[in-house]
Amino acid sequence: MKNENFYEGKFIKTERWRGGKMLFLPFLHKLARQRLFVRHLKKGKRDKIILDIGCGGGNDLFTRFGEVWGVDISKSSLKFAKTIYSKTILSSADNIPIKEKGVDIVLSADLLGHLPPKLKNKVLRETFRVLKPGGKAFHYSEIKGNDLFCRWAKKYPSLYKKYFIDQDGHLGLESIEDLTKRFDQAGYKVVRAIPLFKLPFDLTEFCKRFDNEFKQKNLFISALVGTARACNKVKPLKLIIELFGGFLADFISVFCLLLMREGYF
């Protein structure tokens, strides 16, 4: 795993879901993971204990469905998480100071993709240990991308490593099949694995990955980055694109595939 100092102060923002923002929850493509959590967390008893591992600054959406405990290795992240969670624990996720079978639900968002394989196995076994019989686990994890843009980026291994892995500490990217096997080996019964972003085109994320040396490698990528940067400055346009971005990305991917077949990409 990366040095723990890498994460100190990096993910401190508390996710808050109030007022108008909640109105868009059923529609925004980028909020698919929140819809998934809501769909499952609202089931069952209301007094359940929810363990958020790698909690960062916390997510107040989870507090609507039970008592939430947050675990993280960052002191500054927990400082923010404790404003909404009933309990916060400074700890690595592979050695959680919670008694066996102590929580009803274990969940994580954007954690597993940061863990190298051996540590990931330990974390899954540890979360299984603290889960009550009949308890459930919900994890949203980054996986190894296989869309056209990722495949193109991998043509430049050093840049791919710099902007897709090292930039955010994504040391544990793997296929959904390999990740599912890890859950099986840890004792879980995997009920369903859902790919949420099959057609992603988050403007900010796209710029984060490609607004760098990548755009110097290809004129089409450079043009897309310029367009994304311009759209990011116009909030209504940005909102429209992120509402329907999946369809746009699908069209672009097909178009790029044609260019690649003709040898232009």
pLDDT digits (tens, 9 = 90+) for 136-146: 999 988 888 77
- Does residue 157 lie within any of the structural domains? no
What confidence score (pLDDT) does residue 196 get?
A: 65
3-class SS string, 91-144: CCCCCCCCCCCCEEEEEEECCHHHCCHHHHHHHHHHHHHHEEEEEEEEEECCCC
Taken as a whole, the chain contains a residue count of 265
Q: What's the whole-model pTM score?
A: 0.79
What confidence score (pLDDT) does residue 200 get?
A: 45
- Which domain range does residue 222 map to? 199-265
Number of CB atoms found within 10 A of residue 196's CB: 14
192 and 204 belong to one structural domain: no
Inter-residue contact 113 to 173 (CB < 8 Å): yes
Inter-residue contact 141 to 108 (CB < 8 Å): yes
Q: Are strands 131-140 and 49-53 parallel, antiparallel or unpaired?
A: unpaired
What confidence score (pLDDT) does residue 208 get?
A: 92
183 and 226 belong to one structural domain: no
What confidence score (pLDDT) does residue 264 get?
A: 40
Residue type, 152: W
What confidence score (pLDDT) does residue 28 get?
A: 54
CATH code of 187's domain: 3.40.50.150
Q: How many domains does the chain have?
A: 2
Q: Report which of residues 249 and 211 the model is more confident about.
A: 211
What confidence score (pLDDT) does residue 110 get?
A: 87
Number of CB atoms found within 10 A of residue 207's CB: 18
Inter-residue contact 51 to 120 (CB < 8 Å): no
- Does residue 43 lie within any of the structural domains? yes
234 and 135 belong to one structural domain: no
What confidence score (pLDDT) does residue 18 get?
A: 64
pLDDT tens digits for 126-178?
A: 999 999 998 999 998 888 877 778 888 999 999 999 999 999 889 889 988 89
56 and 105 belong to one structural domain: yes
Inter-residue contact 151 to 253 (CB < 8 Å): no
- Does residue 128 lie within any of the structural domains? yes
Inter-residue contact 68 to 57 (CB < 8 Å): no
- Does residue 151 lie within any of the structural domains? no
106 and 90 belong to one structural domain: yes
Tokens of 107: 């969940």
109 and 191 belong to one structural domain: yes
What confidence score (pLDDT) does residue 93 get?
A: 93
What confidence score (pLDDT) does residue 149 get?
A: 82
60 and 86 belong to one structural domain: yes
Residue 265 pLDDT grade (very low, low, confident, very high; cuts 50, 70, 90): very low
- Does residue 214 lie within any of the structural domains? yes
List of residues 6+ apart from 103 with CB closer than 8 A? 49, 50, 51, 69, 130, 131, 132, 135
The enclosing H or E element of 260 equals helix 235-262
Tokens of 250: 């699908």
Residue 247 pLDDT grade (very low, low, confident, very high; cuts 50, 70, 90): low
Q: Report which of residues 198 and 31 the model is more confident about.
A: 31
Tokens of 27: 């529609």
What confidence score (pLDDT) does residue 193 get?
A: 77
User: Residues 2-6: what's their mean pLDDT?
Assistant: 66
Tokens of 63: 């507090």
120 and 190 belong to one structural domain: yes
| Final residue in a domain of this structure, among 197, 216, 240 | 197
Residue 108: exposure state from Cβ atoms within 10 A (0-12, 13-18, ≥19): buried
Mean pLDDT of the chain: 83
User: Residues 221-237: what's their mean pLDDT?
Assistant: 89
What confidence score (pLDDT) does residue 229 get?
A: 92
User: Residues 103-115: what's their mean pLDDT?
Assistant: 92
